[in-house]
Amino acid sequence: MVSKSTLTGKEYVMPSVVDDKQAIEQFLSEHNGKPIVAIQGLGFVGAVMALVCANAHGKEYCVIGVDRLSKESYWRIISLNEGVFPLIAEDPKIEEYFKNSRGQGNFYATFDTEAYAYADTIIVDINLDVDKESGDFGTLTGYEVTLDGFRKAIQAIGEKCKEDVLVLVETTVPPGTCQKIVRPILEDCLKARSLKTDKIRLAHSYERVMPGPQYIDSIKNFPRVYSGVNTESADAAEQFLNTIIDTEKCTLTRLESTNATEMAKVLENSYRAMNIAFIVEWSRFAEEAGVNLYEVVRAIRNRPTHTNIMLPGIGVGGYCLTKDPLLASWSRQKLFGSPTGLSMSEISVATNDKMPDFAYRFLERQFGSLAGKSILLLGVSYRGDVGDTRFSPVDLFYECLIHAGAELDLHDPYVSYWAEKERVVEQDLGKAINKAHHIVVLSAGHSLYTKNETVNMLMDCDTMTVYDTIGAYSPDQIKILSTKHSVKVLGRGDL
């Protein structure tokens, strides 16, 4: 079986046997005496967390990243060991930290769970997905939280780990998960191996990772909340976090239980999701009333109590806001036995899932039939200055345009291949813009797109419609573009 890099397109033949023990032991032999940290999961959180641990300021760690032997993840393991970091983002610290870890030789990636047998600390940074059932144009019709993969991942730790290891769960999980799911699995595994169960330490400290220009800082220099299943676990977590978090710049806040920290993560993301959903209907109102909602919101933000009111946009994407409110609602019903979930949180997700459809319908109202029209999408990732297409709102927007019969071209400076659509993405902006289009859509907030040089490139094009779905262009830029093109901005009824 072959694993293909979505970064370089390079193909790697996967081994038929999950055995990397000799290489692991060789790596560890070069770092005798250093505490060993194993990171479970080498995706958008785990890979960067591994860099932060390998560059810890409070202690020298020997770091092993562990990911599955699968088509989707094997290439990341090999890339890391070959010196190619598998993620692209506008944060120079990623390259700096990766270069340091390569120079120190204290970071190794593997697919073999045998790595957990050597670890003093194991950090869980794996996906925990929500399976959504969606109708036409993003309508949420139901959902289910499937914990099978998560349980297997925890069991893989329990079958190999030391009896006195610190297991630190960073994955966003339904409240109750550490106490009701992780702890019993680990203890059952230790009992089956005739090991004691009173020495293991289990803690939860959720990540607040923000891919983009502040990628590293969102781990190292951002406030942390943590807890343990008992005092010993919380103390161990605090001791470890103090070695990787810069506590002179940010605070560590201990909560009384893992239920509390698990709830804190889904609550803060549910709040943000609801804030976004609230502005959705006001965006439609502003469009109907001929009002510039961006101007209205910025005026309101002058009031100190309202600085976080949201702006219009194409939609919510990424791994957290699209599912975390549903994790909380599911937890209330399935883990704590309530007859009802969290209805407002569920509605916020359902509303936000429809946002790309609203963006499409706004364009259709402004332009008319889109059948046969040539349209360029500037950006396919879910947020600016990062190559992350997971649950990107551009996905549904793309599907709406395809359904309408439009002919689509794609550009993104951080994405060369859109895996979800199995499409190659142009990375040369000049080449993408210079091709004749009826409509150019600003669909992701990459800083490249709002540079004056890009505006000038658009001005060199034949007359067309420029559609800004995120309100990124400044008033001066809109004024310039409007001298030649028809400019439309989502959430603005005054254009």
pLDDT at residue 8 in the model: 75
Q: Does residue 172 contact residue 206 with C-beta atoms inside 8 Å?
A: yes
What's the fold here for domain 273-489?
Answer: Rossmann fold (3.40.50)
Instruction: Give per-10-residue mean pLDDT for the chain (495 aa).
Output: 82 90 94 94 95 92 96 93 89 94 96 98 95 82 93 98 98 97 98 97 94 90 96 98 92 97 97 96 96 97 96 91 94 97 96 96 94 98 90 96 97 92 94 96 96 97 97 97 97 94
Orientation of helix 148-158 relative to helix 183-192, angle to 10°: 40
Q: Does residue 186 contact residue 158 with C-beta atoms inside 8 Å?
A: yes
Orientation of helix 92-104 relative to helix 46-54, angle to 10°: 60
300-306 long-range contacts, Cβ below 8 Å, gap at least 24?
none
Query: Do 2-256 and 273-489 show the same overall fold?
Result: yes
Domain ranges in the chain are 2-256, 273-489
d(CA 488, CA 461): 17
| SS3 state of residue 125 | coil
d(CA 453, CA 493): 27
252, HSE (Cβ side, Cα atoms, 13 Å) = 21
Q: Does residue 97 contact residue 23 with C-beta atoms inside 8 Å?
A: no
Q: Does residue 242 contact residue 320 with C-beta atoms inside 8 Å?
A: no
The model's pTM: 0.92
Q: Does residue 291 contact residue 261 with C-beta atoms inside 8 Å?
A: no
d(CA 409, CA 35): 50
| SS3 state of residue 259 | helix
Q: What is the CA radius of gyration of the chain?
A: 24
What is the distance in angstroms between the CA of the first residue and the CA of the last residue of the chain?
53
Domain 2-256 is classified in which CATH homologous superfamily? Answer: NAD(P)-binding Rossmann-like Domain (3.40.50.720)
